[in-house]
Structure 1
Amino acid sequence: MDCLKNLKELVSELEKFKFETEEDGWELFIKLVSERLACGASSFFTIDENKKIISFARATGPHSGEITGVSFGYTGVVGWCASNRKDLFVKNTKGHPLFSGKVDHITKFETKSIMCFCCYYGETLMGAVEFINPKNKPEFEDADFDTVKILLSLMSRIAYANKLEVTVKHLNDKAQSTINNLSGGFIGVDLEGRIIFFNPKAVEILEIKEDYMGKSYSELEKLAPDMKEAIKDVLVDNKIAKRMEFFYSLGGGRHKKIGYSTMNIKAVDGSVTGAGLIFQDITNL
């Protein structure tokens, strides 16, 4: 029961992880596991399968500063794991054929027991984690290996989800920057009709002060009925307009001639995620 309780606590800690980069996340992971299993040292390696290069990305232990950033070819325990895409548990390194001892020779550290695990994003091998020398017993036990294997499966999913979130945010930021710098006005809505883009040029052309972001596109009815109908045509009937025009009333007898086109907003995979309207003031053209 104590083992199960400990595992549940570790899972709970993992699920609370917040990090900016992949390496930051894996550093949190090896620190958490090292603390709970009382490890003498641990490392997270990045792996380049094309060049067959392994690099110490993050490390804990007395020589972490010396080894972080060091790269080497496929050799030793982690090299075997990378080459075979399998985890490896070496209870006692003495005389073991896969233990090279090269890092020990450089750092004067003595590795006695070691667990090494492959880290995946889907089918892609992106790294490995290694845990060395339990402080409270002569060597790691099978239960330790099984515990880390379970935690690693969860951590891989968390890290991959974080990677996707960062990628999506980057794409959204890039899209927002592009839209904000368009020479024409742009209004975009999602499939529920909520306004998700309303760039500065649109505000300038329409000469408005009201903030429409987050509102239903139906709110555009009082601003420009033709604009609202054009967006509705895309959302409801998938009717795309090219180089159309309407007159926009500013009140006080003032009008602008607006040239516009509409489009579907699509995700990277091609699926439709909303509707967009791009327009310009063509009064003086």
Structure 2
Amino acid sequence: MDTRLKTQSQELKSIYYSLSEISSVIRQYINDITYNPKRLEQIENRLSLISNLKRKYGDTIDNILKYLSSIKERLEDLKNYEKNLKNLQEELKECNDALSGVASKLSKKRKKVAKELSEVISKELEELELKNCKFEVSLKRVKDKEGIFVDGDFVKPLINGVDKVEFLISPNPGEPLMPLTKIASGGEISRIMLAIKICLDEADEIPILVFDEIDVGIGGTAAPSVAAKLLKLSLLHQIFCITHLAPIGSMADTHFLIEKKLRKNRTITKVKKIKNEERIE
């Protein structure tokens, strides 16, 4: 043998003996393993169950466990259903009692203010040439057996209390009070809204008000009064007023002329800003 490979030959022998020993250990380990079909089946079933749970309740084991915790709490609530229901009913009664008390106090204040508001608006309407017009702020409640108990009756709670507020008018003597929107003409509605806005000017946060033909049905004596009230209201709001009367138009800072013309069998509305001498004409 070539002496130059002696060292490598010894290393190969050492490796051979090591591999033989490792091989013997592995064979012994394999021989010691006991194949258990039932255990294998249990593991496969367990993995299948976990896979199904992930599809239904979460992508991870943590999510599945969180869901398990939540349904355990839910189950505990269901077991104590009667106790929980009783507690909720007591809380609901307390809330209803508190709501009833507040609603009753608010309703009493509204009745007082509604009477005062009806009087001051009626006074304003007289000055706006609606002397025979009766105005009333109506407060009504909607009865509801499942509602809250207020002042001896079950009523429906609304978003702002238990009162349904409505403006009623009777434009002519002998006529019953009816909702404003159902019987008032355009001119009457404008003047009534003007009276309401005058009375509520400080509480009204609407920046722009439009009055359409507010002068319909009024004479020359009422026009200056309407004009003065519009001027007063304009100190707190931007007013747009469509009018045919000079006393009302004269109070404005800016004027526009609105004309309708027929062109090619079509009606065209033209709006033109007028200045200087045109405003007098």
Coarse TM-score class (shorter-chain normalised): under 0.3
TM-score by length of 1: 0.22
More contact order relative to length (CA 8 Å, sep ≥ 6)? 1
Larger Rg: 2
Instruction: Kindly indicate which of the two structures has a greater share of residues assigned to helix.
Output: 2
